[in-house]
Structure 1
C-alpha cells in the first residue's frame, strides 16, 4: 500500500473520529437528561445494544470490540425508508455494491462477492452468490419484515463460515418473542400500484410469562415501471420461546414464503458504440409468459443453556426446503463482440428456457462460550462445532429461437410459449444434481493482555466435500441418455484469525486484524489432482468510537484483500495452474446513530481500487482493474430530524446515494450519479403514524451496476422517481 496514501487516510480518520468525540463530550445538548423532547418509537437509526455482535466470532462483542468493519441496518431504518428486500437495504449500506445478474441481485464488498448469508449466525449459500449457477438454484431471499436487524460484515469471515469469497457476509437476525404484549401493522401504497401489508404480534402466552410467541404476516402485490412486470409475495413467520427452567431456553420457529414475479432477465441492448438507445423507461423486451415462482419452507430450533454467569451453551438447527420454477424468453445478444443495435432496430430472441428446481439444506451449529482466568486476568473463550448439508436439483429445458424483432415496436405478447413437455421442440433437456457437505470446528479466545489491550486469536478447521451428477434426456435436439458424475471435491483446510484492539479511551479503540477464508475449486492440475482452494486474506487497520453510551458509532478502516490460488488455464490443454492473484485496497468511513436526541444520522463512504496481480486471460491482464463494475467512490447517507415543541410529532428525513463511474468486463460504461431520497413522517398519537417516502426525487436516468453488460443485453435502467405512503399502527 502506498505509504503516503496510508498515512494521510489514517490521520484524517483519526482526526475525524476524535473531533466528533470532543464535540460529543462538550455539547450540552447531547444527553437525554437535558432534552425535554419526547422520544417516539419510530426513530430511524437505533444504536445497537453493547453486546449483540457474533457475526465475526462466536463471542458476543460490541461494535467497538470487533476488529473488523461492520454496519448495522435496524428495523426502524428499514421501515422508515420503505425497504422491503435485502437488495434495497444493502443499497443504503456502506461499501456494498448491489449488481444485477441472471435475473437476481448479487452483492459485493471490496470488489468481491458475498456468497454466504447467515440467519441468527447460521450460514447458508446465497443463490445469487459467486458459487454455482443462479438459474439452477431454487433458494430465495426472505422478506425483511421478519428480521430485527441486519449485520453486514466487510472482509473475510472464515472464523464463522466454512468457505466462500472474502467480500464479507450478511447476518440477518430474526425477530424474537417479547414478554410484554405488543402489536404493530403497516399498510403501504406506492407508485405502480405497489400494495403491501404486514402484521407483527408478540407477547406471553401464559400468566407465568415462560411461554412467549411472535407471529409476522406479510402480503404484497405490485407492478413495476416496466410494462407487464408484476410481483406478489406472501410470508408467514412464527416463533415460540419456552423457559424450560431458570437456566434453559428453548426456541422453535418456522417460515413459509411464496414469491411470484415476471423476471426481466436480459434488460436492454445498447446502440452501436455502447451508446444508449434512449428507450422508454418502461421498455420490457421479454415474453409476457415469463414467470418466476419461488417457495420456501423453513423450520428452526435453538437451545440456550446458561451453566452460570460466565459459561453458556447455544445449540441451533435450521432446516430449509426450496422449490421454484422459472421460465422466460427475451431479446438479447450475449456475444461480447456484438457491436450493438443498428438503425433498423432489430435484435434477436435469445432462445427460451425453463428451469424446474428444488433443494434442501440442513445446518447444525453449537457454540460454547465463557470466561476463564489466567495470569490474574479474566479472558473469553469460545468453541464452535458446525455441520451443514445442501442438495440442489435442477431440470433445465431450452428451445432455440433467434427470431429478430424491432426493439422500438416489440410487444411481449408477440413471443409464443412452447410446449415444454414436447421433447421434439427442445434443444436441451438435462437434469443436474449437486450436493455440498461441510463439517467444521472453530476455537478462539479474547485474551486481555492489559486493561486496554485485547487479542482475539483463533482458527477454524473445515472438512469440505461436494459432488453431483447429471442425466441428459435431450441434447442438440436429439434424444440422449448420457449419465455422468461431476468431479468430487474433498478438501480439509485450516483458517487462522487474529485481531488486536487497543482502547485509547473508554469510548475509542484502534485495531488491526488478519482474517482469511477459502473456497475449494474443481479445476485440475496437469497431474490430475485438484487445485488447492482459492484463499482470500483480509488485513485491516481501523479506529472505532462509541459515544453517548453507544448511541452514536464512528469507524474508519484501511483494508487490503488478496485472493490467491486462482485458476489460470494452461494454453493448449484442459488443465489449470493455481497462479492467479488479485488485490483490493481501500478505505471505509462510517457514522451512525444519534448526534442529538432528535437528530439521527447515518453516513458511509468507501474508496476502493482493485487489480489483477497476474494475467488470467485476454481480458484479465496484469495490472488491469479486477472489479471494473465496482465504483472507486461510494457514498450513502441518510439523516432525520424530529422537531421539538409544537411540531414534536413531525419528523423529516433526507438521504443520498452517490457513486463515481463504473464499467463492465466488456467496456460498457456508466457515468457517476447521485440519487436523492426523502421522507416525511407524522405521529398522530402513540398508536398511529403516517410516513411519506420519495425515492430518486430528481428522476435520474441511469443504468444499474452490472458485471457482464454488453451491447446486446444486460443493461438495466435504475428505478425512476417513485413514492410510497405507509400507514403504521402500534399497540
Structure 2
C-alpha cells in the first residue's frame, strides 16, 4: 500500500471503528459530551447547526431516517452551506461524497457518481432528466435549505435517468416566527454577493418568505465575468387544521461574458512529430471578447397538503419550469503545433427555450398488523417537457475565422461573426406518465422489507439537428431493499434498484436501440448515534449501465452513423460519516473507491478518480464559544485520458474557514480556498479543459434582524 492509500486507510479505520463510547467520554479539560435530545433533528436543517438530517424522502417519498433507507444517501445541510460559504450547486456538490463535478466548460457542467453521468436533478422531490445530461449556467443555493443525494439508481420516484445518483434540492419554506438576515460577501476577482432572506407570519394561519440574491464576479480566467441573480417568494396558508396550501415562484438569471464553448486544447504536436501535453497559464481563456452565455429560469409551484383523520397524508403538487438560453460562442479547435499555431475558430449563436410541467399526487401513511408497524405510499405523476432551439453559424469565411497565429498570446480579440447559416436546431417534446407504489413492511421488530415498483409510459417526438427523436416506451421499474437492525445503533442493509433511459440512436439495420437500463446492487451497514445527530455508513456496490449506445460505424447510403448497445459496470466501496462528534466538533467524511469496466472488460472512464476522500469539519472551541474554525479537504487519485498523453497527478485540495459571532445579531466570516495554490485542470473527459481557481480569499458579514 502506497503512502496516500495508507493515510486514507488510517483515517477511515480510526473514524469508523473507534468505539462510540470513546466519543461520549469526557476528555479531561477539553471536549464535553454530546448533549442528546429526543427527536433532535427533523427534515429541515436550517437553524439546527447540524451536519446531517433526521429524515429524508428523496428515495421513496416516505420519511425515513438515513439509517432506514437501504441505499447510500447523503445530505448537504444549511450549516455546511454557511460554513463553507457555498453559493452555487457546483460548489455544494464539490463537497459531496462520491460526486465528481466536471466543469468541462465555464457555463456547462456535467456531474458524475459511481462512474456514470448524473442527469436526475429534482426540486422538492420532482424533476425530469437534464437535457443532454448537463447543467447550463448555475443554480444559486440562496433559496434552498439543503441538498439530498441518493447514490445509485433511483427509478422508483424518477423513472427516467442514469444509475449514477439523484440530486434533490429542497427549498426553504416560511417560518411561523419572524426572522430576517442579510449576508454580504466580498472576495478575490471583485466577487461581490448579497443575500437577503426574510420570513414570518403575515396573519394568523398565513406565512411567507422572500429571498433575494445578487452576485457579480470577475475571474482568474482572462475577460470572464459572471452575474448571478435570484429572487424567490413563497406563501403558505392553513386551510383548517389539517390542510396546507403553498404557492411559490423563483426566478434566476445567469449571465456570463467571454465564456468558454469547449475549452483549452490539451495536446500539441512537437517538431519531432510526437504529441505532448500543453501547459498554459492558469488564466488562459479560449473565448472571444464578444461571446456571452445567458440563461434565465423561472420555477413556479403549487402544493395542497392534507392530513386525514386516520393520520394518512395526501399531497398534490404542480410545478412549471421555463428556461430561456441565449448564447453567442466561439469554439477553438484544430491541431496545435509546438509554436502554438494551427488552431482555428468556429462561431455559433443559439436561442433555446424549454417549458416543463409536472403534476404529482401521492398518499402516504402507516398501519399496524399485530405489534408490527408499516409505512406505505402510492402515487401518480405526469411530466411534459417542450424544447425549442435555434442554431445559427458563420460559414462566410470557411469556418468563420482565420487560423490563430499564437494560442499562447490569445486575448479573444477577434471580429464579431455574421450569423446567417441556420442549422435544423431542435424541437423535442417529452412526456412521461407513471404510477408508483411502495412500502416499508416490518417482517419482525428488527427486519424490514422495503419494496415497490413504478409503471411508466414515456413518449418523445420531434427532432434534434436532423435526427428524429420519436420514442415510445412502457416499462416497470422495481425497487427492493432489506434492512436488519443488528443493535440499537447498527443496521445492515441490501438493495436492488433500477432506472431506464430511452434512446433514439439507430443500429445498422436502422432499428432504434432499446432503452438504456441502469441497475444498482448494494450491501452495507449503517450506524445512527447520539439520537440521530451522527450517521455512519459503509457500503459495497455494483452499478451497471446496460445497452448504452456507442458508435460502431458510418452508413454511406444513409449518411448517418450507426450504433450498438454496450454494457458498463462500476464496482466499489464507499464510507461516510456525517454529523456531530462532540459538542464542539461536527464533520462529514466520505471516501470512495471504484473501478469502471467497459463492454470489453477493459478499464474505462479513467478521467474519473479511482479514489477520492472529502472531509468537512467545523470546530467550536470551548474556550471561545463565539469562534468557529473549520476546513474542507479533498484528495483525488491520479487520472488520465486513455489513448492520449493527457493526465493529472493525484492532488490534495485544502480550504479553511473561520467565523466569529460578535453578538446575537452580527457574525463575521473568512474563507480561504485552495490554500496550497494547486494548479489543476477542471475536467478533461473530452480532451479539453481549463484551469481551476488558484488560491483565493473572501470575507463576509451576516446581520440577523
Q: Do they fold alike, i.e. is TM over 0.5?
A: yes
- The answer to whether 1:94 aligns with 2:97 is yes
What is the CA–CA distance in structure 1 between the aligned matches of 2:46 and 2:443, rounded to whole Å? Answer: 41
Asked if the contact 1:45–1:602 (Cα under 8 Å) also holds between the matched residues in 2, the reply is: no
Farther-moved stretch of structure 1 (714-723 vs 192-201)? 714-723
What is the CA–CA distance in structure 2 between the aligned matches of 1:330 and 1:570, rounded to whole Å? Answer: 26
Counterpart residue number, 2:73: 70
Deviation at 1:30, TM superposition (A): 2.3
Per-residue deviation, residues 390-443 of structure 1 (Å, max 9, x unmatched): 011110011123522211222212x111233xx3xx3x4333201110000011
What is the CA–CA distance in structure 2 between the aligned matches of 1:599 and 1:85, rounded to whole Å? Answer: 25
- The answer to whether 1:431 aligns with 2:435 is no
Counterpart residue number, 1:115: 119
Farther-moved stretch of structure 1 (277-286 vs 299-308)? 277-286
What is the CA–CA distance in structure 1 between the aligned matches of 2:20 and 2:486, rounded to whole Å? Answer: 12
What SS is found at the alignment partner of 1:685? Answer: coil
Which one of the candidate residues 545, 549, 564 is aligned to 2:527?
A: 545
Structure 2 unmatched ranges of 5 or more: 1-7, 38-44
Asked if the contact 2:119–2:130 (Cα under 8 Å) also holds between the matched residues in 1, the reply is: yes
Which one of the candidate residues 574, 582, 588 is aligned to 1:588?
A: 574
Deviation at 1:705, TM superposition (A): 2.3
Deviation at 1:703, TM superposition (A): 1.0
Deviation at 1:261, TM superposition (A): 0.5
Deviation at 1:446, TM superposition (A): 0.6
Deviation at 1:564, TM superposition (A): 1.4
Which one of the candidate residues 30, 40, 46 is aligned to 2:50?
A: 46
Asked if the contact 1:562–1:584 (Cα under 8 Å) also holds between the matched residues in 2, the reply is: yes
Which one of the candidate residues 668, 674, 680 is aligned to 2:658?
A: 680
Structure 1 unmatched ranges of 5 or more: 1-8, 35-40, 472-483, 615-621
Deviation at 1:126, TM superposition (A): 2.3
What SS is found at the alignment partner of 2:214? Answer: strand
Which one of the candidate residues 595, 611, 624 is aligned to 1:633?
A: 611
Per-residue deviation, residues 127-178 of structure 1 (Å, max 9, x unmatched): 4616xxx7xxxx6543111000001111000101121110011000000000
Counterpart residue number, 1:450: 444
Farther-moved stretch of structure 1 (102-111 vs 670-679)? 102-111
- The answer to whether 1:21 aligns with 2:20 is yes
Counterpart residue number, 2:627: 650
Counterpart residue number, 2:409: 409
Q: TM-score, normalised by structure 2?
A: 0.90
Q: CA RMSD in A?
A: 2.5
Asked if the contact 1:391–1:433 (Cα under 8 Å) also holds between the matched residues in 2, the reply is: yes
Q: TM-score, normalised by structure 1?
A: 0.87
Distance 1:535 1:470, change over 3 A: closer
Per-residue deviation, residues 665-707 of structure 1 (Å, max 9, x unmatched): 5532111111111011111111111111000001111112231
Where do residues 400-549 of structure 1 align in structure 2 (5 Å cutoff)? 400-405=399-404, 406-413=406-413, 415-420=414-419, 423=420, 426=421, 428-469=422-463, 486-525=468-507, 529-549=511-531
What is the CA–CA distance in structure 2 between the aligned matches of 1:346 and 1:577, rounded to whole Å? Answer: 35
Which one of the candidate residues 207, 228, 235 is aligned to 2:230?
A: 235
Number of equivalenced pairs = 670
What is the CA–CA distance in structure 2 between the aligned matches of 1:118 and 1:42, rounded to whole Å? Answer: 20
Distance 1:243 1:361, change over 3 A: same
Asked if the contact 2:128–2:160 (Cα under 8 Å) also holds between the matched residues in 1, the reply is: no
Counterpart residue number, 1:166: 163
What is the CA–CA distance in structure 2 between the aligned matches of 1:193 and 1:247, rounded to whole Å? Answer: 49
Counterpart residue number, 2:357: 362
What SS is found at the alignment partner of 2:500? Answer: strand
- The answer to whether 1:156 aligns with 2:153 is yes
Deviation at 1:537, TM superposition (A): 0.7
What is the CA–CA distance in structure 2 between the aligned matches of 1:140 and 1:411, rounded to whole Å? Answer: 23
Per-residue deviation, residues 480-535 of structure 1 (Å, max 9, x unmatched): xxxx7714100000011100001112222110000010111123356654332111
- The answer to whether 1:661 aligns with 2:638 is yes
Farther-moved stretch of structure 1 (175-184 vs 94-103)? 94-103
Counterpart residue number, 1:718: 692
Deviation at 1:44, TM superposition (A): 9.8
Per-residue deviation, residues 558-596 of structure 1 (Å, max 9, x unmatched): 010112123355667578676511110001111111111
Counterpart residue number, 1:4: none
Distance 1:249 1:274, change over 3 A: farther
Deviation at 1:349, TM superposition (A): 2.3
What is the CA–CA distance in structure 2 between the aligned matches of 1:560 and 1:594, rounded to whole Å? Answer: 30
Counterpart residue number, 1:303: 304
Per-residue deviation, residues 48-84 of structure 1 (Å, max 9, x unmatched): 4433x11111211110000001111012211221211
